[in-house]
A and B are shown apart, each in its own frame.
Chain A
């Protein structure tokens, strides 16, 4: 339960207020995890926060976290440079159910920093590309300056075996990309809706909107997978903070099948 020291090898400024760390363990041991799991990341003398793992799990020598500066800890972390040491506890939680979706078309629906928890899954899907049908990423951001992981998006868009529907809510005149909401991007996807599996990572309100859109196209809620956020302090189901009804998001989640979490999800302030 004691954090293990990792050194920041590289800091990438993704978009304003969002940064990615490439971390190396001080003892050189590989960090083994599965896409969808998260770590508790600790800054010496400041505090500890849960962060999903955004790297490629086939490269266990580099641990990748993408963090948005929203509170005291994440703002302090934003000041850290390469060479600094942080503490890591993990990995925790249930990963994305990649083996359960073999053979299906996959559609990823996400916005802005929501791509971070899905990125490792997309990498893994591409490593096992022949196991799946069509692969479509529907990604929306507020503006053209909020597009995360641009290099990945370019690489993915260049592939002949996947589709990327990138959309922005607003763009300067002259922008030639898609402008509008993610709903339109979902509708533009060409997958086999009656059998496709969807992975959604957005705010809770926008998740509902995405799930409704998908349902309208024929993706039943037992084929929609989401990842949730809650206050987490121990990450092993003992501190109680992350409960939603009977579930502990840290150990039973953070990944849920939507039909199983919907009854809890739809109760206000539950």
Chain B
């Protein structure tokens, strides 16, 4: 790589956010709301969750105070960046009755450009996976495309692994390797910044900085190494494709079905789940509007055709989700659908752990 890393301080980080908004980006980053770290508009460094960390386990998420003022001292929260690229609720079109029958008007796409600030390595992989789903098939999703184009990605190499993280075993982290414009590694009070694109390098050149030394680079490497060594979970992903598809009638599916509430939380927090449903709403003026919202394969209606649902049992619905995520996804898109972020474990109300389910099917 021909780009040179630099070191910036908090003033440099503030200048980075300012430069992005000055360049017309809508800057989105982590912030604390409702006792969780969520992604929202940020105006400056003060909006970042300074001195917070999180405690994550199956069905458990708690914010806690850190001893320091680290800005990125936590793992991923319930939000994934897909909520901006693939919105949870989207107006598709509006139809008005007229003399000819009806007039349909497609909803306009937004013209704003996003800058995502604080994207973790697992999330860069998730974005790359959704790019495959929405942009590289025979059909392109125009809504995703309009939002995805021109996104500026500021990655953060995780300095803390969450209790449910397993990116190291999915080869998706913790260090960002591709798909970003700038990548930060946090040291106390300063950040190593590595450009990953021309746009990133050009922006970095505008910030107050000093050149990174060999010691800085070594320090950043140690941060990622320490994080990789402290993953809360491990997934043995080798051969999981065949393992699951060869065990579609495994008794473990009954076992997990007895615990699963079919609530769909895992699909809503998953950064790669992409399923949607459309609904038409009529208003009193006689017009009708079609909206698209995130759907979940855990609902009975998801597979409804005349006469009933294809997957009426929770067993078949959990099996659908997990075999899709870890197996069929590879056949469809040439990659696993799982990036090891651990959200599905943390936000499962009964703490079902996908890594444990895989182990059980392996017979371990």
Give per-residue flags for A217-249: 1 if the beta carbon is below 8 A from chain B beta carbons, else 0: 000000000000111011011111101011010
Q: Judge whether A45 and B288 touch: CB under 8 Å.
A: yes
Q: Judge whether B104 and A3 touch: CB under 8 Å.
A: yes
Q: Judge whether A239 and B310 touch: CB under 8 Å.
A: no
A2-B104, A231-B303 known; A245+B328 contact, CB < 8 A: yes
A230-B310, A231-B302 known; A240+B275 contact, CB < 8 A: yes
Chain A residues near B213 (CB, 8 Å)? none
Query: Which residue of chain B has the shortest Cβ distance to A269 in the bound complex?
Result: B316
Instruction: List B93-140 residues whose CB lies under 8 Å from chain A.
Output: 93, 95, 97, 100-102, 104-106, 133-134, 137-139
Query: Which residue of chain A has the shortest Cβ distance to B324 in the bound complex?
Result: A243
Shortest Cβ distance from residue B285 to the other chain A in the assembled complex, whole angstroms: 11
- B187 at interface, CB cutoff 8 A: no
- A188 at interface, CB cutoff 8 A: no
Give per-residue flags for A45-85: 1 if the beta carbon is below 8 A from chain B beta carbons, else 0: 11110000000000000000000101100100000000011
- B278 at interface, CB cutoff 8 A: yes
- A151 at interface, CB cutoff 8 A: no
- B3 at interface, CB cutoff 8 A: no
CB contact between B313 and one of A87, A239, A248, A269 (< 8 Å): that residue: A269
Q: Judge whether B104 and A5 touch: CB under 8 Å.
A: yes
CA distance A133 to B137 in the complex (A): 37
Q: Judge whether B280 and A231 touch: CB under 8 Å.
A: no
Give per-residue flags for B166-177: 1 if the beta carbon is below 8 A from chain A beta carbons, else 0: 000000000000
Chain B residues near A267 (CB, 8 Å)? 248-249
Instruction: List B301-335 residues whose CB lies under 8 Å from chain A.
Output: 302-307, 310-313, 315-316, 319-320, 323-324, 328, 331-332
Give per-residue flags for A74-107: 1 if the beta carbon is below 8 A from chain B beta carbons, else 0: 1000000000110100000000000000000000
Query: Which residue of chain A has the shortest Cβ distance to B107 in the bound complex?
Result: A2
Chain B residues near A246 (CB, 8 Å)? 328, 331-332
A2-B93, A2-B104 known; A48+B278 contact, CB < 8 A: yes
CA distance A239 to B137 in the complex (A): 13
Q: How many residues of B contact A (CB 8 A)?
A: 50
CB contact between B305 and one of A68, A229, A234, A245 (< 8 Å): that residue: A229
CA distance A124 to B223 in the complex (A): 67
Q: Judge whether B276 and A239 touch: CB under 8 Å.
A: yes
Shortest Cβ distance from residue B14 to the other chain A in the assembled complex, whole angstroms: 39
CA distance A3 to B92 in the complex (A): 11
Instruction: List B129-177 residues whose CB lies under 8 Å from chain A.
Output: 133-134, 137-139, 141-142
Query: Which residue of chain B has the shortest Cβ distance to A71 in the bound complex?
Result: B306
A270-B248, A270-B320 known; A240+B295 contact, CB < 8 A: yes
Q: Judge whether B295 and A239 touch: CB under 8 Å.
A: yes
Q: Judge whether B92 and A5 touch: CB under 8 Å.
A: no
- A178 at interface, CB cutoff 8 A: no
Shortest Cβ distance from residue A17 to the other chain B in the assembled complex, whole angstroms: 12
Q: Judge whether B133 and A2 touch: CB under 8 Å.
A: no
A238-B141, A251-B138 known; A45+B276 contact, CB < 8 A: no
CA distance A2 to B277 in the complex (A): 15
Query: Which residue of chain B has the shortest Cβ distance to A244 in the bound complex?
Result: B310
Q: Judge whether B277 and A237 touch: CB under 8 Å.
A: no
Query: Which residue of chain B has the shortest Cβ distance to A242 in the bound complex?
Result: B303
Instruction: List B69-102 residues whose CB lies under 8 Å from chain A.
Output: 92-93, 95, 97, 100-102
Q: Judge whether A241 and B280 touch: CB under 8 Å.
A: no
Q: Judge whether A241 and B295 touch: CB under 8 Å.
A: yes
Instruction: List B210-224 residues whose CB lies under 8 Å from chain A.
Output: none
Chain A residues near B311 (CB, 8 Å)? 269-270
Chain B residues near A268 (CB, 8 Å)? 316
CA distance A155 to B334 in the complex (A): 49
CA distance A35 to B92 in the complex (A): 29
Q: Judge whether A85 and B275 touch: CB under 8 Å.
A: no
Chain B residues near A248 (CB, 8 Å)? 332
Q: Judge whether B106 and A233 touch: CB under 8 Å.
A: no
- B236 at interface, CB cutoff 8 A: no
CA distance A87 to B278 in the complex (A): 15
Chain B residues near A270 (CB, 8 Å)? 248, 311, 316, 319-320
12 extra A-B contacts, CB within 8 A, seeds A2-B106, A44-B97, A241-B275: A1-B93, A1-B142, A5-B101, A44-B101, A44-B288, A231-B310, A233-B278, A238-B141, A239-B277, A239-B295, A243-B324, A251-B137
Q: List 29 A-B contacts (CB under 8 A).
A: A5-B101, A26-B100, A44-B95, A45-B286, A47-B280, A48-B278, A70-B306, A71-B306, A85-B101, A85-B102, A231-B310, A233-B277, A236-B137, A238-B133, A238-B139, A238-B276, A239-B277, A240-B275, A241-B275, A241-B295, A243-B320, A246-B331, A248-B332, A251-B137, A267-B249, A268-B316, A269-B310, A269-B312, A270-B316
Q: Which residues of B contact A (CB under 8 A)?
A: 92-93, 95, 97, 100-102, 104-106, 133-134, 137-139, 141-142, 245, 248-249, 274-278, 280, 282, 286, 288, 295, 297, 302-307, 310-313, 315-316, 319-320, 323-324, 328, 331-332
Q: Which 9 A-B pairs have the closest CB atoms?
A: A85-B101, A240-B275, A246-B331, A269-B316, A236-B139, A70-B306, A246-B328, A45-B288, A45-B282
Q: Which residues of A contact B (CB under 8 A)?
A: 1-3, 5, 7, 26, 44-48, 68, 70-71, 74, 84-85, 87, 229-231, 233-234, 236-241, 243, 245-246, 248, 251, 267-270
